[in-house]
Amino acid sequence: MEKHRQTVIQIEQILQQWGAVHVEVTDNSHLHVGHAGAKSGGGHFAVKVAASEFKDKTRIQRHRMVYQALTALFENGAIHALEVEAVTEEEL
């Protein structure tokens, strides 16, 4: 959705500045129309991110790192839901 295009760009920029070497963001908001969370205007996104910082980290630790980097977008309501695939460069 065009409505969430700016959020996609912000996610990409934040994760790249954070140190990700690869970032793919998909806006899945259209799949959640009518969902209670969608009514607030926050988007539903999926992100695949590769970073060397994920080396020797568990899946949960990796997800927490991504969520922490994007905290401001959750707090301001731009992101309602986020699906994360976090890998190292070697796992791409």
Q: Report pLDDT for 73.
A: 97
Residue 71 is part of a domain; what is its CATH number?
Answer: 3.30.300.90
Q: Residue 45 belongs to what domain range?
A: 2-91
Report the chain (92 residues): mean pLDDT per 10 consecutive residues.
87 97 95 67 93 98 98 95 97 94
Structural domains of the chain, count = 1
27-43 as b/e, with b when 16 or more CB fall inside 10 Å?
bebeebeeeeebeeebb
Gap between the Cα atoms of 81 and 10, Å rounded:
15
pTM, 2 dp: 0.91
